[in-house]
Structure 1
Amino acid sequence: MLLSAALLCLSCPAMLLAMLAVRITSPGPALYFQERLGLRGRRIMICKIRTMTLNCERESGAVWSTPGDPRVTPIGRFLRRVHLDELPQLVNVLRGDMSLVGPRPERPEIVAQIERALPHYRRRLEVRPGLTGLAQVLQPPDTDLGSVQRKLELDLQYMEQESWIMDVKILLATPLHMINYPSRSIARFLQVSLDDLDAPASLAVSDSASDGVHVQATYAS
């Protein structure tokens, strides 16, 4: 929490500039709030800098973002690329809703859908969700259920190896991920193998997500 408070103070100027840019270039508030699942399934409200057009899911419902998604604003595309949109969640860390390191919190309705294909997905809720995590620094954003499973395997691996040394390494690796440093080089630094990550067979999913997600999965019984 002390480190989060320090990071919040240091990042305040960048966040304020980002929020101002969002307000100037796109109608609507600079921040948005979304319900996620926290430790042991407790519902929490996370805060992010808005990167999409206002009410972009009004007609489509919650759908995953795709490459070149027209709903993402020009300034939002930049904020996503450098991950500045996630910084307001440092407040969630100070509130005790999240940790700096841990599995990323997911929307409750999406957890219910993913669990049908990945029964162990809820095990991620046994630890406090994080602003960054092992899966986040080693894998790109989710694009299908296979990528969700690979991240789940990394989340479970983190839970098995959880230690302050691992947390420090992940925090040090996060800036490398932000500048698109090769994942395999980051994995070597973290002493994690990416070759053991398996994609599930016979899985089909709809488009992938970030500000909102709707998953439809078909899988072999």
Structure 2
Amino acid sequence: MYKFVLKRILDFLISMMGLLILSPLILLITILLFTANRGNPFFFQLRPGRDQKIFKIVKFRTMTNQKDNEGNLLPDDQRLTKIGKLVRKTSLDEIPQLFNVLKGDMSLIGPRPLLIEYLPLYSQFQNRRHEIRPGITGWAQVNGRNTLSWNKKFEYDVWYVDHLSFILDIKIILMTVKKVFISEGISAEGKATMDVFRGNNV
């Protein structure tokens, strides 16, 4: 009952209330990032959702599009602005995804939606992460986030699919709040973003 009905109802109600309550903060961050990025404060990208259905995710843009003399993007850590670093560290870059939750593309809790190009690289077991809606936060995020290996992340994702419950979601929310306050697991040591998934044979 919770997995197929109540979870979606709660997602809709909580995301709507969250957007209303956080609207002043969203406006402030939008203005700051627009200035820092010298343009668009939002980041849009196609991601696979439930049953691999493709949707457009929205986040705050924390990096500029600065390029070198040859037209190649600079390394992530060089494109990360000061305000962008703060927004990422406090996980505020995830707030716009409440719009995705409101639309039904995502849930508040679930496996994080990854890149489309990863789809053919998953094993049958790993692909089970798409049996439910992806989430803003999830079991992998509260158990290490970007410091985990890819295999471990997928193990946590599938474990969540098999054990999804109201009590578990409450636990994940509480653990997420704690992680945000102590800024734990934002990235692996010495890296601004997580490594690219190259498949199970690499």
Report the TM range for the smaller structure's normalisation: 0.7 to 0.9
Structure 1: stretches of 5+ with no match in the other structure: 184-206
Structure 1 pair 111–209 and aligned structure 2 pair: CA distance change class (3 A): farther
> Matches of 1:91 and 1:56 in 2, distance apart?
30
Report the equivalent of 1:59: 72
Report the equivalent of 1:165: 167
1:112 positional shift:
2.7
Structure 1 pair 182–37 and aligned structure 2 pair: CA distance change class (3 A): closer
Q: 1:51-103, CA deviations, whole angstroms, 9 ceiling, x for partnerless residues?
A: 00036697259x8x5xxx11211111000000111100000001000011000
**% of aligned pairs identical?**
35
> Matches of 2:134 and 2:116 in 1, distance apart?
13
The alignment status of 1:134 with 2:144, answered yes or no, reads no
The one-letter code sitting in structure 1 at the alignment partner of 2:138 is G
Aligned pairs for 1:44-193 within 5 A = 44-54=55-65, 59=72, 65=76, 69-113=77-121, 115=122, 118-141=123-146, 147-180=149-182
Structure 2: stretches of 5+ with no match in the other structure: 1-11, 186-190
Aligned pairs for 1:198-209 within 5 A = 209=193
SS of structure 2 residue aligned to 1:70: helix
Write 1 or 2 for the structure with the bigger share of helix.
2
The alignment status of 1:219 with 2:201, answered yes or no, reads yes
Are 2:66 and 2:73, in contact at CA under 8 Å, matched by a contact in 1? no
The one-letter code sitting in structure 1 at the alignment partner of 2:128 is R
The one-letter code sitting in structure 2 at the alignment partner of 1:127 is I
> Matches of 1:124 and 1:217 in 2, distance apart?
15
SS of structure 2 residue aligned to 1:104: coil
How many residues matched? 184
The one-letter code sitting in structure 2 at the alignment partner of 1:160 is D
> Matches of 2:78 and 2:176 in 1, distance apart?
27
SS of structure 1 residue aligned to 2:128: helix
> Matches of 2:165 and 2:200 in 1, distance apart?
36
> Matches of 1:101 and 1:216 in 2, distance apart?
25
Of 149-158 and 82-91, deviating more is: 149-158
Structure 1 pair 109–182 and aligned structure 2 pair: CA distance change class (3 A): closer
Report the equivalent of 2:188: none
- Aligned-residue Cα RMSD (Å) equals 2.7
TM-score by length of 1: 0.74
> Matches of 1:119 and 1:18 in 2, distance apart?
40
Equivalent in 13, 21, 24 of residue 10 of structure 1: 21
TM-score by length of 2: 0.81
1:15 positional shift:
1.4
The alignment status of 1:26 with 2:37, answered yes or no, reads yes
